[in-house]
Amino acid sequence: MNAGIFFTGTGPILILTSYDSLTNPDFVTKLSVKGIKKFIAFEVSEAVIKEKYGQHFKLVMGDLYQTDDIRILDYDGHRVFYNFSLKELGDPIYYES
Protein backbone atom coordinates (compact mmCIF):
# COMPACT_ATOMS: atom_id res chain seq x y z
CA MET A 1 0.00 0.00 0.00
CA ASN A 2 1.32 3.42 -0.97
CA ALA A 3 0.10 6.63 0.57
CA GLY A 4 0.62 10.24 -0.22
CA ILE A 5 -0.35 13.75 0.65
CA PHE A 6 -1.44 15.43 -2.57
CA PHE A 7 -1.46 19.20 -2.79
CA THR A 8 -4.04 20.05 -5.45
CA GLY A 9 -5.88 23.16 -6.55
CA THR A 10 -8.40 22.74 -3.74
CA GLY A 11 -5.87 21.92 -1.00
CA PRO A 12 -4.17 18.83 0.39
CA ILE A 13 -5.79 15.39 0.49
CA LEU A 14 -4.48 12.09 1.82
CA ILE A 15 -4.77 9.17 -0.59
CA LEU A 16 -4.06 5.46 -0.16
CA THR A 17 -3.42 3.34 -3.24
CA SER A 18 -2.43 -0.18 -4.18
CA TYR A 19 -0.54 1.12 -7.22
CA ASP A 20 3.24 0.65 -7.08
CA SER A 21 3.98 4.38 -7.18
CA LEU A 22 2.27 7.74 -6.94
CA THR A 23 3.20 8.43 -10.57
CA ASN A 24 1.95 5.13 -12.02
CA PRO A 25 0.23 6.07 -15.32
CA ASP A 26 -2.98 4.17 -14.44
CA PHE A 27 -3.12 5.85 -11.03
CA VAL A 28 -2.53 9.30 -12.56
CA THR A 29 -5.30 8.59 -15.10
CA LYS A 30 -7.74 7.76 -12.29
CA LEU A 31 -6.82 10.98 -10.50
CA SER A 32 -7.36 12.89 -13.75
CA VAL A 33 -10.85 11.40 -14.08
CA LYS A 34 -11.55 12.76 -10.59
CA GLY A 35 -10.40 16.21 -11.73
CA ILE A 36 -6.87 16.08 -10.33
CA LYS A 37 -4.67 16.86 -13.33
CA LYS A 38 -1.86 18.65 -11.53
CA PHE A 39 -0.40 18.01 -8.08
CA ILE A 40 2.57 18.04 -5.77
CA ALA A 41 2.68 14.82 -3.75
CA PHE A 42 4.69 13.55 -0.82
CA GLU A 43 4.88 9.86 0.04
CA VAL A 44 3.93 9.00 3.61
CA SER A 45 4.57 5.66 5.29
CA GLU A 46 1.61 3.45 6.08
CA ALA A 47 2.85 3.09 9.68
CA VAL A 48 2.71 6.87 10.20
CA ILE A 49 -0.78 7.04 8.76
CA LYS A 50 -2.01 4.17 10.94
CA GLU A 51 -0.59 5.96 14.00
CA LYS A 52 -2.19 9.31 13.16
CA TYR A 53 -5.57 8.08 11.88
CA GLY A 54 -6.05 4.91 13.97
CA GLN A 55 -9.62 3.65 13.75
CA HIS A 56 -10.45 5.89 10.79
CA PHE A 57 -7.67 4.17 8.81
CA LYS A 58 -9.23 0.77 9.56
CA LEU A 59 -12.68 2.05 8.65
CA VAL A 60 -11.56 3.41 5.28
CA MET A 61 -9.63 0.22 4.48
CA GLY A 62 -12.71 -1.84 5.30
CA ASP A 63 -15.12 0.27 3.23
CA LEU A 64 -16.53 -2.06 0.61
CA TYR A 65 -17.95 0.80 -1.45
CA GLN A 66 -14.53 2.08 -2.44
CA THR A 67 -12.22 0.39 -4.92
CA ASP A 68 -8.96 -1.02 -3.65
CA ASP A 69 -6.76 0.96 -6.00
CA ILE A 70 -7.59 4.44 -4.64
CA ARG A 71 -8.99 5.36 -1.24
CA ILE A 72 -9.29 8.90 0.06
CA LEU A 73 -8.36 8.75 3.72
CA ASP A 74 -8.77 12.45 4.43
CA TYR A 75 -10.05 15.26 2.22
CA ASP A 76 -10.12 17.93 4.93
CA GLY A 77 -7.16 19.99 3.75
CA HIS A 78 -6.73 21.82 7.05
CA ARG A 79 -6.54 18.57 9.01
CA VAL A 80 -4.19 16.91 6.50
CA PHE A 81 -1.87 19.93 6.45
CA TYR A 82 -1.64 20.21 10.24
CA ASN A 83 -1.59 16.47 10.95
CA PHE A 84 1.87 16.08 9.42
CA SER A 85 5.10 17.92 10.14
CA LEU A 86 6.81 19.28 7.05
CA LYS A 87 9.97 17.60 8.39
CA GLU A 88 8.23 14.20 8.01
CA LEU A 89 7.73 14.70 4.30
CA GLY A 90 10.32 13.52 1.82
CA ASP A 91 11.11 14.81 -1.61
CA PRO A 92 8.16 16.23 -3.54
CA ILE A 93 6.74 14.55 -6.62
CA TYR A 94 5.58 17.07 -9.21
CA TYR A 95 2.98 16.08 -11.79
CA GLU A 96 1.30 18.11 -14.48
CA SER A 97 -0.60 16.59 -17.40
Task: Among 22-31, 66-75, 82-91, name the one with the lowest average pLDDT.
Answer: 66-75
The average pLDDT across 6-31 equals 94
Percentage of the residues of the chain whose pLDDT score is greater than 70: 94
β-partners of residue 5 are: 14, 42
Query: What pLDDT shows up at residue 46?
Result: 87
Q: Give pTM, 2 decimals.
A: 0.88
Q: Which domain holds residue 18?
A: 2-96
Strands (E), the chain: 2-8, 11-17, 38-43, 70-74, 93-96
Q: How many domains does the chain have?
A: 1
Q: Decide: 70 and 13 in contact? Cβ < 8 Å.
A: no
Residue 55: the pLDDT is 86
Nearest 5°: phi and psi at 50? -60, -40
Q: Is the pLDDT of residue 64 over 80?
A: no
Distance CA 39, CA 61 (A): 24
Query: Is pLDDT at 47 greater than 70 in this prediction?
Result: yes
Could you tell me the pLDDT band of residue 65, with boundaries at 50, 70 and 90?
low
Phi, psi (rounded to 5 degrees) for 24: -55, 130
